[in-house]
């Protein structure tokens, strides 16, 4: 099972997107655990090496540089959720983005 974390300002705006991602994972039989959390929890998740992939909500993309080095140190792929997929709550597209990141990281 792979662990995907989405971080936003308070962890609430990504909750609906996470629900959509879980629905898509279930339909496609993808074994993942997906959680939405406030950005303040990101350092704990990274430090404890609990993530296989981290995505930031578009509204906090300005914080990308704040955690980029920490993610690299722990070999955790990091990106910002595609803003169109986020705005349309396209869980399948965001799930594909995360899976692609995880696979690319495994092939390094």
How many domains would you assign to the chain? 1
HSE at residue 101, side-chain half, CA atoms within 13 A, is 24
The model carries a pTM of 0.94
Please pick, among 8, 34, 55, 67, the residue that the annotation labels catalytic: 8
Strand order in the sheet with 32-38: 32-38, 2-8, 53-56, 78-80
Can you list the residues of the chain whose pLDDT is less than 70?
Answer: 11
Give me the pLDDT at residue 107, please.
85
Give me the pLDDT at residue 13, please.
74
Has 8 been annotated as catalytic?
yes
Give me the pLDDT at residue 10, please.
76
Domain CATH number, residue 46: 3.40.50.2300
Find the domain containing 9 and state its range.
2-106
């Amino acid at each position: 099972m792979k662990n995907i974390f989405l971080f936003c300002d308070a962890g609430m705006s990504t909750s609906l997107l996470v629900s959509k991602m879980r629905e898509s994972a279930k339909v496609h039989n993808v074994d993942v655990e997906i959680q939405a959390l406030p950005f303040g929890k990101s350092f704990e998740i990274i430090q404890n090496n609990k993530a296989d992939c981290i995505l930031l909500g578009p509204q906090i993309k300005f914080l990308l540089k704040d955690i980029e080095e920490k993610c690299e140190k722990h070999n955790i792929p990091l990106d910002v959720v595609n803003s169109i997929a986020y705005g349309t709550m396209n869980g399948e597209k965001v799930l594909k983005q995360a899976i692609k990141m995880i696979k690319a990281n495994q092939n390094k």
